[in-house]
Amino acid sequence: MQTQTNPRHAVAARIEALVAGDQHLAERLDNLRKFASRVRASEYHLTNACNIRCKGCWFYEYGHDKTAVEAKSLDQWKAFIESQRRKKVSAALLIGGEPALFPDRVAAFVEGMRYVSISTNGLRALPREAPFENVTVFISVFGGGPLDDELRAIKPNGRSFAGLFDKALENYKGDPRACFVYAVTERGLAHIEPTVRRICENGNTVSFNFYSEYNTGHPLRIQNQRLLLSEMLRAREAFPDVVLNHPAHIEAMVTGKSWFGTFGRDTCPSISVNHPENQDRMQAGEPVLPMFNTWKADLKTLERCCTSGHCEGCRDSQAVYSWFLVSMAKSLESRESLETWIEVAESYWRQFIWSPYRRSRTTPTATETPTPMLTEVD
């Protein structure tokens, strides 16, 4: 009589075989899995309001600010946070709009959840004193150099201003909570290294993202993909203690591919597990983030996923990272692939001040002078 093998038992047996004889590797994997098991994240639109209007911001490009009436009462927010905690959600990613406009709501999440991160444009500083000292702050940068003002320094009334990146650097100088989420773009190739250097000299870290021009109808039309990937990897090599992304993560953002598959709607795990439109995807067998939901600011309505809900060409950095994290079982072909998965997972957790993988920044310099950037395609 033939018996069926339990998939979990098969994975455990394969892991045991791969780490056999390498106690250090086994401990790294065990530590990652133990810590990750404590983090059950959801995402929350803290507000529909923002003090700027970035070009390519999916929140406003797709009218997310008009699809739910924002809850105004702090008591409403506290009751909602308590209900989330009772459901065993332990980590909150606060987005908007602009979360820094409502520090009282951020504080309510800090009081109610173990881990809190906010995504901010950097124009208004989140206080450093209690209760905000252990909140991870992700600060957006688009394009780098003068492109950042061109793409982001736009007031709600449409008027442009200057110095947004300078202001963000000033607000978060030497702040261990701060990680600049640098959305690179093809036409900003020349600005990548100087922008990373400025962030380095400011005493902060960088996590590369990928700038998608939602308003063009062609989110990921890249003519010089090789150049963009090469320059991002070059910056990482030059500033290894500043740029947190693993090379495999950078490549997956730019190309959509990794050693275990292709990123897209059918494989992205950062979907709201309770959204009715995602049930077919939930039943398809590809892994998803357990308990993950994205809540609108009315505290009642779910978004389809962690970003716009428009999956064509989306390669949001956090979504791509999540895809790696849930794909350990697909990374057991060899010890090398498992080691790479471990390295990617460790690099992901380095972004968060509340993570044991976060390293302190001590030396605001690059390890070497970067080699000249490529300027033309062969």
Fold of the CATH domain 23-349? TIM Barrel (3.20.20)
- CA dist 76 and 112 (Å) reads 13
3-state secondary structure string, the chain? CCCCCCHHHHHHHHHHHHHCCCHHHHHHHHHHHHHHCCCCEEEEECCCCCCCCCCCCHHHHCCHHHCCCCCCCHHHHHHHHHHHHHCCCCEEEEECCCHHHCHHHHHHHHHHCCEEEEEECCCCCCCCCCCCCCCEEEEEEECCCHHHHHHHCECCCCCECCCHHHHHHHHCCCCCCEEEEEEECHHHHHHHHHHHHHHHHCCCEEEEEECCCHHHCCCCCCCCHHHHHHHHHHHHHHCCCCECCCHHHHHHHHHCEECCEECCCCCCCCECCCCHHHHHHHCCCCCCCCCCCEECCCCCCEECECCCCCCCCCCCHHHHHHHHHCCHHHCCCCHHHHHHHHHHHHHHHCCCCCCCCCCCCCCCCCCCCCCCCCCCCC
| pLDDT tens-place values along the chain, 378 residues long | 445 567 889 999 999 999 999 999 999 999 999 999 999 999 999 999 999 999 878 777 877 778 889 999 999 999 999 999 999 999 999 998 999 999 999 999 999 999 999 999 999 999 999 999 999 999 999 999 999 999 999 999 999 999 999 999 999 999 999 999 999 988 899 999 999 999 999 999 999 998 765 444 444 455 678 889 999 999 999 999 999 999 999 999 999 999 999 998 899 999 999 999 999 988 888 999 999 999 999 999 999 888 776 777 688 899 999 999 999 999 999 999 999 999 999 999 999 999 999 986 644 444 433 333 333 222
C-alpha closest to that of 42 among 273, 231, 249: 273
For 67-107, the pLDDT digits (tens) are 889 999 999 999 999 999 999 999 999 998 999 999 999 99
Residue reference for tokens 């978060």 = 172
Q: For helices 23-36 and 335-349, what crossing angle results, to 10°? A: 40
Which residue from 101, 40, 42 is spatially nearest to 70, judged by alpha carbons? 101
| Structure confidence at residue 212 (pLDDT) | 61
Contact (Cβ atoms closer than 8 angstroms) between residue 184 and residue 211: yes
pLDDT at 5: 61
